[in-house]
Structure formats: structure tokens, C-alpha cells
Structure 1
Amino acid sequence: MRRVALAGACLLAVAVAGAAVAVLADGGTGVAAPAAAAVPATAPITRQDLIDTKTVDGALTYEGERQVAAGAAGTLTWLPDEGAVVRRGRSLFRTDRRPTVLMYGKLPLYRTLQLGVGDGPDVEQLERNLAALGYDGFTVDDEFTYATYQAVVEWQEDRGLPETGRVDAAQVVFLPSAVRVTGVRGEVGGRTAPGRQVLAVSGLDRVVHVDLDTDDQTLARKGAKVTVELPGGEKAAGRITSVGTVAKTVKESTTVDVDITLDKAPRTKLDQAPVEVELVSERREDVLAVPVEALLALREGGFGVEVVEGVRTRLVPVEVGAFGSGMVEITGAGLAEGMKVGVPAE
């Protein structure tokens, strides 16, 4: 169906250019005939690589959006601004004036860490953060020792937290890295409770997200290079870093998630900015090609080109292949690189 649509586009281009419908005198063998009028313009048959592309809509956003929930009941007394960046050791929000602090790690805080708790990777994760924040006197391992307890008390004193030596979900949220606040779910003065969402956050790296129609899923291959047109006409190169495996249906449209990492940071700071992504649908190497407007629609069906040889012309039926950058792949009897074909005059 796509090839039919492209062929239709070619017909329209030829019609607009004023090209007449051609008829082969010998049933399609490419017989030579005197030209009725001088060919107004020509273009060479070239040998080149053709890349057929399709442009889809996307959005420039930030990677890894997730929700941050409260770990204790109370009144929200401070919240960050949307767009704020929070790094290790800084407050994500405050409940009853007590901060919930960001620390780095992939394992969520699923239990209270204190003296007597069993050894585990969550203990090591906490100790690694305390060490990164400048606290010492303990060994970074999976054991919560008295030295760990003392470091926790010192950290709690510095952060204005109750000096209990215990760390729970009301005090710390573990996330993989620094985050950018993309949404504030609560409001200062509002009540919260354990498990209630307070913030939406994301990573700091910019990504392009595309909800790709499942009909075009074959265009998205992990690692494939793409070109992205950003707001203001800025163009950036990128690479597909993830392709979803689960389809989702929204408003009768079925799509898969595709994420693209840009080769360099874009100038725009806008979040959810609309962009256009150019995907490669087909790549043909070392083929004969002519400008699309060189194609002539034949009465009996298909296409041909008008080969110009000095003051004479002849019609040669062709099969079309890939399209790209205004060129089309052709194959036909006796065609070779360097031959001239007729094109509409500019």
C-alpha cells in the first residue's frame, strides 16, 4: 500500500509538471521515435544510494519519569518549584518542616534501617550515600554497625531530623540519580499520608519520545540513526535507544513507545516540545536513480522515462523501487549511468 501511495504521489507530480501520458508504439519494448518537440530540459541517470524516509511526530522530554510518594502523614510545609533540579542530600519536600531527602540508589527503602537490622544491599546503599556526603568512621558494606548508627545520627542532626539513628521512608527516598521536578502533586498546607504521591520527577537527560503507530513498527530498530527537527528549526542527530514491546491503544490508535537519545544537548529547554523525527524506512545501495519528475505515466499502466540521445528521444518502460530526497530508483532495458532523461522545464 505504501508503494501505491508513493506511485500516486509521482503521478501527481508529473501531472502538475504538465507531462503528457506516453504510449509505447510497440507494446512496451522502448522503440525509438522522432521527438515531437525539443526536450526542454534533461537530467542524468545517476548511480547512488537511496534512503527512503518517513517523518513522524514526537515530543522532546526528559528520561525516566516516576512518582515520589510521602513516607509519613502530616502537613506539607515546603515543595520545590516545577523544573527544579534536586541532587543527592537535598530535600525533595518537607512534611511538618521535616525534610524527605534524596539519596542515590536503585533499591527502594523497603524497611527501617537501624541497629540490629539484618545485613543487606540496602544497608550498603545507605552507607555509600553517607560516605559521598562526607560522613566517615564506618566501613561501606552490608552491615549496619554502631559506627553506621553514629554517622546516621550526625547526618540527622545536620538535616534537622530527629536524632534517632534510624532511617525510614519518611526521611529518605532512593532514586538512581539527580532528578528534575516535572510535576507537583500536592500543595503547601495540604495534608499527605504514606504512599500518597507528592512529586513527579525525571532524570536530567533529554530524550525524544515517539508514540509510533504499530503499522510503522518495522521502521524503529534499536540503535538506528534518526534525524530530529526541534523547535525553531534546529536539527539534531540521534539514535533509537528503546522500542516498546507492548502496544497501547489511545483514541482508536494503537502505538508502541520509542525513545531516542540525541547526540548532543539541544538548545531549547522546553519540556514536551513537539518535534518531527525522520525514520529510515528503506535503504537501497548502488542503484540507478532519476529525479521523480522524470517519470512518465504510461497509458497501459506503469511508468517510463524519456531517454534523450542527441536530438532524438525514446520511451523506455521502467520499474520503480525506493524513493528518497526527490529521487527514485529505476530499472529498465538498456539504461545506464550517465544517460540523459527528460524532465519538465523549471
Structure 2
Amino acid sequence: MRRKQGLAAAAAVLACGAAAGLVLTGRDAPAAAPEPLATAEVTRGDLVDTVSVEGELGHRGERELTAARAGTVTSVPAPGAVVGQGGALYAVDLEPVVLMYGTVPLYRPLRMGVPDGPDVRQLERALRALGYGAGLTVDRHFSAATAHAVRRWQHAAGLPRTGAVTAGQVVFLPSQARIAETPAAVGAAVAPGRPVLTVTGTARAVHVELRASRRDLVRKGVQVTVELPGGTTARGRVVSVGATARKPEEEGAEATLDVKIELTGRAGTGGLDRAPVTVALAAERRRNVLSVPVEALLALRAGGYGVEVVEPSGARRVLAVRTGAYGSGRVEVSAAGLRAGLRVGVPEL
């Protein structure tokens, strides 16, 4: 429970209340007590105490693509472009490097006579999805039918019709690729292993460098709230938490953990490629408790806090309460006779 943080917030509110004459001498309101300008309902439900951390909005699945053969870059997509299966990621010496969907990297040339394997199956699945699967059985074996389908695809793509597939022709990625950066511009000479593109997935995500001391606030699958540029909010879910703390760049700073969050709501994220956001992490959840807005608390001269209950008839009484957790501008309260549905005074400060 972040009791100290909640009490500090309440103290600031009550300090303003004292200046307005709202600090009471006991449990009964004085005769000269000012009329509350508004009331709020006592509600029952879950109260979540949150901690806000800074993050950066970006995209999931960033990775670097390197050249598989030497040559001159003759085309690259513009940053922000999205390439789907069958599309060219870039071209070297006018020959495209094509995206196909799959999870196994193309670690060997695929041709007649190669041992059976899952990389063959994903190639055949991609060829069929692209419309070159007539007479092709999707399995782990590179057959004559596979070679025929490869030659048909190569002809349509503008590649030499060899019937064999190399890493200089195809890159396997799980889904569509969004172009993030193009370190090798058109006209650049490349060699095997040189970076050509940085790509991401198309799903938006948030990256947080979380202080290691706050590791207990996150775990995979935890729901969070993200405040986006413009003040809108979106729901999110933690998809990964780094297992190794990163050494701080500044002396005296705390080590951090890499936390990735995927957005699960429908709130618009705008057209910005990257943007700062605020992530609300649940520090504690109090279930099925009574709560009121923090502004409803009154300081009692005898000590502790109270709320001014406003009856439907207009009669008022000050009720001493015990406070608990704070979250989302509300505070947990309990007292004999306090129940959901009652209304309490909320002075304008």
C-alpha cells in the first residue's frame, strides 16, 4: 500500500481545506460551517493504488535485417511503409529480397536434394499462399513440384529461375514488416552481414525502462493503463519483463529492467512513430471496499479524518472515518454507519 503517497496527497488537499475554514473541532460540524458546493457518492468496489512510470510508444518486434550477398542497394521502401508476404523488402543489383511468412530463418539454400526440414515446409506453405501451389504438397520434403513452384515464383518476382531459394532472395518473418529505419540508402554498397533495414511488426507497443526496485509491480500478463499523447488512455498488457537489470548510464542512478507492453484497447495512438507516454502500474488492489474522492476528507482537530455526510433532507453530520488505500483520486474509508449510496460534501478548493 502506498499509504505515504496517499497521505501526502490528502494532506495537500486538507491544507487547502484548512485555509477555507474546513478543519473541524470535533465530530460535529460547527454552526458556521460553509455549505458544501457539491456532493459525491460513497461507492463500493475495487480500488487500485497505482504508480506512474514513463514509457515510449513504438512498435513491437524490432529487428535488424542484414545483407546476404554483396552488391549495390537499388531500392528500399520509405520508413513507415508496410511490406506483406510476397512484397520486396529491398533490392540489390535490381534483384528483390522478398518477404515470406515463417518463423525459421533461411539458414541454408533450399533446392533439390536438401535434407527434409521445417524450413522446406514453411517455404512450400508460403508458395501456396502466394498462388504457386498447383500440384504442390506442403510437407518437409523439397520435391520436383517444389522446384517447379519456386521457378514460377522466381519468374514472377524478377529473379533468376534457378529452382533454388537462397537468403539473398527471401527473408522469413512471422508477419507483415513495417520499415522503421533504412541504414543502407539507395546506391550504398553492401556486403554480407551489413545492416540494410530495421523492421518492426505493425502492432503498437510501449517500452518502459523500469527501475529494478519496482520489479514487484510487473509480471507477464499484468493489465496496465497507458496515457497516450493528447490525453486519451488505452488498456495494455505486459508481454515481457527483462530478466537482467541494465547498468545505469549516469553515476548514482538505479539499474533498470526492460519491460514491453502491448496495447489491447482501441484508443487511437496517432500518426507519431514514437511518442512519450505514461504507464499506470497497479501497486495494490483493494477489493470490495467503500471509497470517496480524496477531496471529501476533512481533518478533525481531535486527530484523524472525517467526511461530511449530506442526508437527502439536507441535514449534515460529520462522520469520523478510517482511511486505507488511495488510487485514481479516491481513498478507501470505513466507519460504523457508512454505506454505499450515501453522499458526502466535496468543497471546491
Q: Which amino acid aligns with 2:205?
A: V
* Distance 1:143-1:3 versus aligned 2 partners, 3 A rule: same
Question: RMSD value over aligned CA atoms?
Answer: 3.1
Q: Distance in 1 between matches of 2:28 and 2:183?
A: 77
For structure 2, list consecutive stretches of 5 or more residues without a partner in the other structure: none
Partner SS for 1:51? strand
- More moved, 192-201 vs 207-216: 207-216
Matched, 1:126 2:123: yes
Could you tell me how far 1:118 is from its partner in structure 2?
A: 1.0
Decide whether the 8 Å contact of 1:35 with 1:313 is kept in 2: no
Decide whether the 8 Å contact of 1:77 with 1:96 is kept in 2: yes
Q: Distance in 2 between matches of 1:267 and 1:45?
A: 33
Decide whether the 8 Å contact of 1:91 with 1:102 is kept in 2: yes
TM-score scaled by structure 1? 0.84
* Distance 1:36-1:195 versus aligned 2 partners, 3 A rule: same
Find the partner of 1:271 among 259, 273, 290.
273
Identity %: 48
Find the partner of 2:113 among 113, 116, 126.
116
Q: How does 1:297-316 map to 2 (within 5 A)?
A: 297=299, 303-305=304-306, 316=320
**Which string of whole-angstrom CA distances, capped at 9 and with x for unpartnered residues, describes residues 139-193 of structure 1?**
2211112222222223222222222222111111111111110010111121111
- Which residue does the alignment assign to 1:46? 42
Q: Which amino acid aligns with 2:209?
A: D
- More moved, 199-208 vs 236-245: 236-245
Q: Which amino acid aligns with 2:229?
A: P
* Distance 1:153-1:20 versus aligned 2 partners, 3 A rule: closer
Q: How does 1:178-189 map to 2 (within 5 A)?
A: 178-189=176-187
- Which residue does the alignment assign to 1:289? 291
Find the partner of 1:167 among 165, 168, 193.
165
Partner SS for 2:164? coil
* Distance 1:149-1:339 versus aligned 2 partners, 3 A rule: closer
Could you tell me how far 1:122 is from its partner in structure 2?
A: 1.0
Could you tell me how far 1:74 is from its partner in structure 2?
A: 1.3
- Which residue does the alignment assign to 2:215? 217
TM-score scaled by structure 2? 0.83
Q: How does 1:1-346 map to 2 (within 5 A)?
A: 2-17=2-17, 18=19, 35=30, 37-41=32-36, 46-49=42-45, 50-135=47-132, 136-251=134-249, 252-253=253-254, 254-264=256-266, 266=268, 268-297=270-299, 303-305=304-306, 316=320, 318-332=321-335, 334-337=336-339, 344=347
**Which string of whole-angstrom CA distances, capped at 9 and with x for unpartnered residues, describes residues 101-154 of structure 1?**
111110001111112111111111111112222223332211112222222223
Runs of 4+ in 1 over 4 A off after TM superposition: 19-24, 42-45, 296-300, 306-315, 338-346
Q: Work out the number of aligned pairs and report it.
A: 336
* Distance 1:329-1:189 versus aligned 2 partners, 3 A rule: same
Decide whether the 8 Å contact of 1:89 with 1:101 is kept in 2: yes
Partner SS for 2:131? coil
